[in-house]
Amino acid sequence: MQEFYLRKIRKMTPCQLIETKEARGIEERFAEKIKEIEARGLEKHLKDDYIVCLLDGGKEMTSADFSLFLEKRTLSSAKVLTFIVGGFLGLAERIFKRADVCLSLSKMTFSHELCRIILLEQIYRSLTMMKGKSYVK
């Protein structure tokens, strides 16, 4: 499903999905160490990006609001728009502090794999709205 939406998005705009390596072999009780390792992997890819972190307590938007947000970001800034979805333990605090916006997809909790698919679907939906195309429901 992830590849399905990536293909559709890439027909309209450049899009790159980067997955960093998970910290493996470390017990979950060392959550901060795991998040630190994953943060270092993320930071290798971040430059002067406009960063949107997914966070359960982040700002909630309707699909129409999200589309307006994307349109405004693409028109008003030359910065690369980067969305960050954390691993199963979330993100290190310093990644959130670096974010320009923290976004919530729902009040419900989803796996990070499902969050990626939901986010990609919403990006695709927004791009179709921005381009005045109809979105097949």
Per-residue pLDDT of 26-41, as tens digits, reads: 898 999 999 999 999 9
pLDDT, mean over the chain? 92
User: What is the three-class DSSP state of 121?
Assistant: helix
CATH for 2-130, options being 3.40.1280.10, 3.40.605.10, 2.60.120.380, 3.30.530.20: 3.40.1280.10
Residue from 43, 59, 61, 55 nearest 123 by CA = 61
Q: Region 53-72: what's the mean pLDDT?
A: 95
CA 3/CA 11 separation, integer angstroms: 12
Distances (CA, A) of 130 to 9, 11, 108: 12, 14, 27
Q: Which SS3 state, helix, strand or coil, does residue 89 take?
A: coil
Q: Which token pair is 90?
A: 């979330």
Question: What are the two backbone dihedrals, phi and then psi, of residue 80, each rounded to the nearest 5 degrees?
Answer: -70, 135
What is the structure's pLDDT at 88?
87
Going by pLDDT thresholds of 50, 70 and 90, the confidence category of residue 137 is low
Q: What is the pLDDT of residue 21?
A: 77
Q: Is the pLDDT of residue 103 over 90?
A: yes
This prediction's pTM? 0.91
Give the burial class of 70: count Cβ atoms within 10 A of its Cβ; 0-12 exposed, 13-18 middle, 19 or more buried. buried
- Choose among 24, 26, 86, 31: nearest CA to 54: 86
What pLDDT is recorded for position 75? 86
- What is the distance in angstroms between the CA of the first residue and the CA of the last residue of the chain? 15
Is residue 136 over pLDDT 70?
A: no
Would you say 70 and 130 are in contact if contact means Cβ atoms under 8 Å apart? yes
Mean pLDDT of 80-100: 94
pLDDT of 6 strictly over 90: yes
Residue 92 has pLDDT above 90, yes or no: yes
